[in-house]
Every structure is written in structure tokens, then in C-alpha cells.
């Protein structure tokens, strides 16, 4: 019961923060304009938080460790690579690029294919060596980023300028055009995942135990990775990459709750992610007036926490 | 691999490099000392060639020294927070000492680079667990923390674009009068060559080195000093060139072994060849425009590093 109470508390906090975010500084003269700007933005942020919390948690369950997350392995940079290559090959005026929803759907499909190849090739090799995997992931991220910029350089500069803002989202430039499709996908995934909650609990016991308990291990892993790729595509498409948010919220959720059950853990990490993003955005945008994207601050805190985790767990 | 072949390849690439550019150079006119051709050569092409050679050699050797004294094959200025600290230093000099000239900025960024590297070495000493992969991982993370501090202040002072364009490794802006600072790294390279044996001994471990009568701490400090100085020089004049100091010494070591005295000249040559080749590639792909060197090297370098990591079981331990 204690867990339920904690979750309720988190839910209340997130709702308060969301309301604060939407209503801050509203006057009778400006509310029409402000609401039309803020509601899509807050929706995008909440969806992103949910997607990141969910995907990081089940990814850690599937890979059975507490340091790896999809973005640490460079998955959100992969999204950028696919986008840039698509523009390069198809041109910025192609229907596949201009129509946001088609573009998004196409990228998601490619993400699923490529991330499966990626996971298969690197997870197989270093299965027992988490550190090699981590380093590979970080370098892979750098590789994808350089490759993205490389491709962007080769795109005709005029064409590129034209699409840059629309293509690459950030916290100051939230992509609101795909809100409908991404909310629908997230709802679907949430619905579809209900039957997996118990299976993930068993999966967390490790590969051998899970197989012994009668779980079709390979199939579950594949499904999990597919869900992860879709969710990462959503969050990256909406606000761009935030490397360490997933790592932070999942570990916080595990500290906060005393449970192994995914039905609690998933909800909690999603809520914590929402609180962190909305709260952080309120702080930087309205109170401190930093002009610094919140992802920079999250990466600073996340980086320190990551070193702490490494120093603590690296000994094993 | 014979050294003379490497020298030959380097000479060939240098020649190619001189004759590639938006403006064609006619050899016959050049031999007649036509004014226009000569000007292009002296103001743009030669400075570019020289700075590529010097930067390639010095970054590779900085990596080699770093790997010897940290006794880890995957440590380099990129993976030891050196470059990110140098970046922070440049930012600080832009914010607080905006009237300083290039040399002043270089010195401030040098101080930061040395501080960041020493901090990393200090963490290295604290960590009992010396896994080959663990250490660069900590270095990369330390680097990204320092980098996010820099980004934070860059946003506050509206310098994001400024610092990013500056630090994008790029040789296309190199012309006469803007690269001469790089010459400072030549004496540093000579010191590196002279101390090569001592770095090799330091690489055998502190106890062993002290037993052999080496002033271990002094050698390590000299090494860190050279590395930090070279890194901040290159970053000020050219920008960041990722992974160069990491992959070149590793490739050379595969063929030549661990004796630094023996492979330092190969490392220098190979580093210069690699950087020159990448630069020529970047100049040709979207000719007459250019792709900055940091991207070409970033793509090739991270791919090679991934390959090295993949074969890590066989080598590097």
C-alpha cells in the first residue's frame, strides 16, 4: 500500500506542476495565445517524460543491469542519423519528408530495423562485460553524431536551412505536429504492455531463471526492444536527445519504491521523468530565466550520478 | 611497414594537398613564379599543409604519451577530459578576459587543460579497479560533465554559436598569420622524443620505474604538461580533432609493439598521414566546398575505435 501512496503523491505533484506550467502569468488579455502555445508544449514534454521513463526501465530489465539505458547506447543519435540520411537521399521537398506523420512513421520503422541489428551485434559480443558495452555505446553515440553532422554538411545549405528548425527538435523548439500520432502510439503501447508486466518481473531475475520459469526469452527480448525503439523515436522526435534522463529517473524510481514489480516501477519512473522535465522547465524558463535548455542541466547531474554509479558498481 | 615508405606517402599526399582547392594552381605558372599562384601558395596552401602536419604529429604523440603514463591503451586527450577542459578554459577567457589576445587565451586554456588532466589522473590513482575499459569511460564522463558546465555558461553569455564554430576542428580558416602559434608544439615534440625512453619506463608502473631509478612523478608531470600544452595549442588554432590521439598510437602499436622510443617516429608520421588524408577527403567530397576535419576524423576515428574495442579481447590488456 505504501507504494500506491507514493505513486499517488507523485501523480499529484506532476499535475500541480503541469497546471502551474500552463497557467503561469495568464491574463485575460493573453490567455488565448499563451494556451495555444503552452498546451501542445506541455503535452510534448509529458509524452517525452513518459516515453523515456518507460523505455529506460524495460530496457534495463531486458539487459539486466542498472547502468545501461537506450540513450547511453546511442539510440537517440541513431534517430538523428536516420532523419538526416532520409533528407539527404530523398530531398527536403519529398512527400515522405514534408508530411510530418508519414515521415515519423517511416523513421520509426527504420529505427526498429536498425536498432535490432545494433542490439544484436553489440549485445551478443559483450554480453557479460557491461563496461565494454557502455564504452561502445558512448563511442557509437559520438559516431552517430559526427555522421549526422557529416551528412548535414553534404545536404545543400539552402535546402538544409529551410528544414533545420522543423527537423531537429529541442526544448526550445518542441515538435508539436506529431502530437496526435505519438499520443496514440503511446496509449496503444501502454495497452499492449499490460500483459507483459508480470513477464518483465520474471525477466528481471535474469536470463537463465526466466527461461527456467518457462518464458520464451528471445521473443520477449525482441518485443521489448521493439517497444524501446518506438518510444525512443517518439521522445527524440518531440524534444531531441536527453542522454541521462532515463538513467536518472529509473534509478530514482528504484530507490523511491521498495519493489520489483513493473506495474509500480514503470508508472513511477514515468511520473518522476515528468516531474523532472516539467519542474526543471519551470525553474529554468520562468524562475531563473537561464535560457539554458534543461537537457544541459540534466546531463550535468546525470553525468555526476553516472560516475558515482560506475565507481560504486564498477568493482564487480 | 618501412619508415621510408611512410615518408614517401606523406610527401605524395602533401603535394596533392597543395594542388587541391577552389582555385586551380597551374604548375607551369608556379615554376615561372607567377604572382597570383605564389600568393595562394604562400598565404593559404602552405600554412594549411604545415598546420596539418604539425597538428597530426603532435596530437598523435600526445596520445602516445598519455597512453604510456596512464598505462591504458584507450586513454587520450579525448577520453581524459583534456580537450573539454581546454574548451572550458577558452570560454572563461572569452567571458572574463575578452581583451586578451590569442596567446593569452591559449595560456588560460592550457591552465584548464592541465587542471582537467591532473584531476583525471588523480581519479585514476584513487580507483583501485583498473579495468582497461573502465578508465576511458570515467574520462569520457568527466569530460561530458565539464562540457555541460561550459555549455551552461555559454548559454548564459550567449556564446554558444561563437564557441561551437571556434572549436569545430577546421583547417579551411588557416591562413598565414593565424596558425603560427602551432610552431610552439615543435619543441614540445622534441622533448617528447628525448624523453621517450623515460615514458616507456614510467609505463611499466610506479614501483618498477622508481626501482629503475626514475623520478616517476616528475616524468608523469612532464608528460601531462606536454599533452595539455599540445591539446590547447591545437584547439586554439585548429579546433577539436577527436580520437586522433587515440587511434593512431593504437594502430602503430599493433604493428610495432610497446617500445615508445621505437614507435614514436612511426606514430608521428602515421598521424600526419592520417590527418592529411582525412583533410584531402573532406576537401574533395563536396568540392569546391569543404567538410570540416573534425567530422571526417570523427566518423573515421570513432569507427576505428569501435573496431579496436571489438577486438579488445585479443589485445590491449
Question: Which pLDDT value is given to residue B290?
Answer: 82
Question: Which pLDDT value is given to residue A271?
Answer: 94
Question: Which pLDDT value is given to residue B240?
Answer: 84
Specify the residue for cell string 582497461.
B132
Distance CA A195, CA B164 (A): 48
pLDDT digits (tens, 9 = 90+) for B246-295: 889 988 888 887 778 888 899 999 999 999 999 999 888 877 778 888 88
| Mean pLDDT calculated for residue range A52-57 | 94
Question: Which pLDDT value is given to residue B52?
Answer: 92
pLDDT band, very low/low/confident/very high, at B214 (cuts 50, 70, 90): confident
| Mean pLDDT calculated for residue range A182-193 | 92
Question: Which pLDDT value is given to residue A168?
Answer: 64
How far does the CA of residue A147 sit from the closest CA of chain B (Å)? 6
Question: Which pLDDT value is given to residue B102?
Answer: 77
Nearest to A136 among B141, B298, B306 (CB): B306
| Mean pLDDT calculated for residue range B144-152 | 88
Q: What percent of chain A has pLDDT over 90?
A: 20
Distance CA B233, CA B56 (A): 12
Distance CA A94, CA A163 (A): 12
Tell me, yes or no, whether A54 lies in a domain.
yes
Per the prediction, chain A carries an average pLDDT of: 83
Q: What percent of chain B has pLDDT over 70?
A: 94
Tell me, yes or no, whether A20 lies in a domain.
no
A218: Cβ contacts below 8 Å, ≥ 6 apart: none
Neighbours of A11 (CB within 10 A): 15
The H-assigned helical ranges of chain B are: 3-19, 27-31, 35-40, 46-70, 82-96, 102-126, 134-156, 160-167, 185-194, 196-202, 206-211, 216-237, 244-256, 260-285, 293-310
Distance CA A14, CA A276 (A): 9
A127: pLDDT strictly greater than 60 = no
Give A1 or B95, the one with higher predicted confidence.
B95
Tell me, yes or no, whether A106 lies in a domain.
yes
A85: pLDDT strictly greater than 50 = yes
pLDDT digits (tens, 9 = 90+) for A255-314: 888 888 888 999 999 999 999 999 888 888 777 776 677 778 888 888 888 888 877 765
Tell me, yes or no, whether A199 lies in a domain.
yes
> Could you tell me if the ipTM is greater than 0.85?
no
How far does the CA of residue A239 sit from the closest CA of chain B (Å)? 18
Q: What is the largest CA-CA distance in chain B?
A: 66
Specify the residue for cell string 558515482.
A308
Q: How many domains does chain A have?
A: 1
Cell of B297: 576524423
Cell of B250: 593504437
User: Using a CB-CB distance cutoff of 8 angstroms, which residues of chain B are in contact with residue A140?
Assistant: 302, 306
Cell of A46: 509529458
pLDDT band, very low/low/confident/very high, at B128 (cuts 50, 70, 90): low
- Give the domain CATH number at A187: 1.10.3470.10
Tell me, yes or no, whether A21 lies in a domain.
no
Mutate to test the interface with A, among B80, B84, B123, B141 (most CBs of A within 10 A): B141
| Mean pLDDT calculated for residue range B93-122 | 85
DSSP run (H or E) holding A104: helix A100-125
| Mean pLDDT calculated for residue range A7-11 | 92
Give B165 or B276, the one with higher predicted confidence.
B276
B114: pLDDT strictly greater than 70 = yes
Nearest chain B residue to A290 by CA: give it: B156
| Mean pLDDT calculated for residue range B120-124 | 82
Mutate to test the interface with A, among B278, B302, B304, B316 (most CBs of A within 10 A): B302
Tell me, yes or no, whether A122 lies in a domain.
yes
How far does the CA of residue A77 sit from the closest CA of chain B (Å)? 14
Give B251 or A165, the one with higher predicted confidence.
B251
Q: Would the CB atoms of A150 and B142 count as touching at under 8 Å? A: no
Question: Which pLDDT value is given to residue A315?
Answer: 47
Cell of A235: 521522445
Give A127 or A111, the one with higher predicted confidence.
A111
Q: Taking the alpha carbons of A148, A149, A150, A154 in that order, is the dihedral positive or negative?
A: positive
Distance CA A310, CA A67 (A): 8
Peptide bond into B288 cis (omega under 30): yes
Tell me, yes or no, whether A23 lies in a domain.
no
Nearest chain A residue to B310 by CA: give it: A125
Distance CA B235, CA B41 (A): 24
**Residue A81 to residues A27, A139, A152: CA-CA distances in angstroms?**
43, 15, 9
Domain range for A247 is: 2-7+43-315
- Which of these, B164, B128, B301, lies nearest to B239 by C-alpha position? B164
Cell of A213: 520459469
Specify the residue for cell string 604519451.
B65
Question: Which pLDDT value is given to residue B187?
Answer: 92
| Mean pLDDT calculated for residue range A60-68 | 84
Q: Does A172 touch chain B (CB under 8 A)?
A: no
Identify the weakest region by mean pLDDT among A76-80, A151-155, A297-301, B92-96: A151-155
Question: Which pLDDT value is given to residue B71?
Answer: 83
Question: Cβ distance B21 to B44 under 8 Å?
Answer: yes
Question: Which pLDDT value is given to residue B118?
Answer: 87
Question: Which pLDDT value is given to residue B237?
Answer: 86
Q: Would the CB atoms of A150 and B299 count as touching at under 8 Å? A: yes
Tell me, yes or no, whether A233 lies in a domain.
yes
Question: Which pLDDT value is given to residue A237?
Answer: 86
Per the prediction, chain B carries an average pLDDT of: 84
pLDDT band, very low/low/confident/very high, at B239 (cuts 50, 70, 90): confident
**Phi and psi at residue A259, to the nearest 5°:** -155, 160
How far does the CA of residue B59 sit from the closest CA of chain A (Å)? 19
Encode burial over B78-102: b for 16+ CB neighbours within 10 A, e otherwise. bbbbbbbbbbbbbbbbbeeeeeeee
- Alpha carbon of residue B140 to chain centroid: 16
**Phi and psi at residue B99, to the nearest 5°:** -90, -5
Distance CA A271, CA A11 (A): 7
Amino acid at each position: 500500500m505504501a507504494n500506491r501512496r507514493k505513486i499517488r503523491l507523485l501523480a499529484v505533484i506532476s499535475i500541480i506542476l503541469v497546471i502551474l506550467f500552463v497557467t503561469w502569468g495568464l491574463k485575460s488579455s493573453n490567455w488565448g495565445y499563451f494556451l495555444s502555445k503552452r498546451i501542445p508544449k506541455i503535452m510534448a514534454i509529458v509524452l517525452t517524460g513518459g516515453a523515456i521513463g518507460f523505455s529506460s526501465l524495460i530496457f534495463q530489465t531486458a539487459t539486466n543491469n542498472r547502468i545501461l539505458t537506450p540513450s547511453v547506447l546511442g539510440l537517440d543519435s541513431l534517430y538523428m542519423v536516420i532523419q538526416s540520411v532520409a533528407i539527404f537521399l530523398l530531398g527536403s521537398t519529398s512527400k515522405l519528408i514534408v508530411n510530418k506523420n508519414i515521415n515519423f512513421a517511416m523513421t520509426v520503422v527504420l529505427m526498429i530495423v536498425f536498432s535490432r541489428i545494433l542490439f544484436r551485434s553489440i549485445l551478443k559480443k559483450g554480453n557479460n562485460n557491461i563496461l565494454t558495452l557502455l564504452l561502445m555505446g558512448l563511442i557509437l553515440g559520438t559516431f552517430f553524431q559526427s555522421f549526422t553532422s557529416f551528412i548535414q554538411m553534404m545536404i545543400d545549405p539552402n535546402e538544409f536551412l529551410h528544414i533545420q528548425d522543423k527537423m531537429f527538435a529541442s526544448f526550445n523548439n518542441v515538435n508539436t505536429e506529431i502530437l496526435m500520432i505519438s499520443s496514440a502510439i503511446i496509449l496503444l503501447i501502454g495497452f499492449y504492455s499490460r500483459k507483459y508486466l508480470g513477464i518483465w518481473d520474471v525477466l528481471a531475475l535474469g536470463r537463465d531463471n526466466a527461461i527456467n520459469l518457462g518464458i520464451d526469452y528471445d521473443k520477449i527480448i525482441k518485443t521489448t526492444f521493439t517497444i524501446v525503439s518506438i518510444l525512443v523515436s517518439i521522445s527524440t522526435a518531440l524534444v531531441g536527445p536527453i542522454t541521462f534522463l532515463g538513467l536518472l529517473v529509473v534509478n530514482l524510481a528504484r530507490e523511491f519504491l521498495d519493489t520489483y514489480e513493473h506495474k509500480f516501477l514503470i508508472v513511477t519512473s514515468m511520473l518522476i521523468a515528468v516531474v523532472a522535465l516539467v519542474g526543471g522547465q519551470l525553474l529554468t524558463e520562468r524562475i531563473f530565466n537561464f535560457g539554458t535548455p534543461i537537457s544541459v542541466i540534466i546531463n550535468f547531474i546525470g553525468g555526476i550520478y553516472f560516475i558515482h554509479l560506475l565507481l560504486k558498481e564498477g568493482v564487480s | 611497414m618501412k619508415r621510408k615508405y611512410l615518408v614517401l606517402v606523406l610527401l605524395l599526399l602533401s603535394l596533392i594537398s597543395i594542388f587541391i582547392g577552389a582555385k586551380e594552381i597551374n604548375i607551369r605558372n608556379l615554376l615561372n613564379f607567377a604572382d597570383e599562384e605564389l600568393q595562394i601558395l604562400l598565404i593559404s596552401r602552405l600554412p594549411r599543409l604545415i598546420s596539418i602536419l604539425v597538428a597530426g604529429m603532435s596530437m598523435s604523440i600526445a596520445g602516445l604519451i598519455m597512453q604510456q603514463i596512464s598505462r591504458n591503451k584507450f586513454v587520450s586527450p579525448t577520453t581524459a577530459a583534456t580537450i573539454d577542459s581546454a574548451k572550458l578554459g577558452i570560454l572563461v577567457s572569452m567571458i572574463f578576459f575578452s581583451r586578451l589576445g590569442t596567446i593569452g587565451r591559449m595560456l588560460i586554456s592550457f591552465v584548464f587543460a592541465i587542471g582537467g588532466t591532473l584531476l583525471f589522473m588523480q581519479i585514476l590513482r584513487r580507483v583501485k579497479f583498473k579495468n582497461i575499459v573502465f578508465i576511458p569511460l570515467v574520462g569520457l564522463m568527466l569530460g561530458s560533465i565539464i562540457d555541460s558546465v561550459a555549455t551552461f555558461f555559454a548559454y548564459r553569455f550567449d556564446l554558444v554559436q561563437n564557441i561551437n564554430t571556434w572549436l569545430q576542428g577546421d583547417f579551411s580558416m588557416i591562413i598565414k598569420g593565424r596558425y603560427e602559434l602551432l610552431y610552439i608544439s615543435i619543441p614540445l615534440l622534441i622533448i617528447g622524443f628525448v624523453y621517450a625512453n623515460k615514458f616507456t619506463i614510467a609505463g611499466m608502473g610506479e614501483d618498477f620505474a622508481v626501482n629503475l631509478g626514475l623520478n616517476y612523478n616528475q616524468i608523469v608531470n612532464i608528460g601531462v604538461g606536454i599533452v595539455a600544452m599540445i591539446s590547447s595549442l591545437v584547439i586554439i588554432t585548429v579546433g577539436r580533432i577527436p580520437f586522433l590521439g587515440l587511434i593512431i598510437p593504437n594502430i602503430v602499436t599493433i604493428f610495432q609493439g610497446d617500445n615508445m622510443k621505437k614507435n614514436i617516429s612511426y606514430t608521428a608520421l602515421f598521424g600526419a598521414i592520417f590527418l592529411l588524408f582525412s583533410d584531402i577527403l573532406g576537401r574533395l567530397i563536396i568540392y569546391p566546398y569543404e567538410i570540416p576535419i573534425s567530422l571526417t576524423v570523427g566518423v573515421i576515428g570513432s569507427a576505428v575505435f569501435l573496431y579496436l574495442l571489438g577486438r579488445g579481447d585479443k589485445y590491449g590488456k
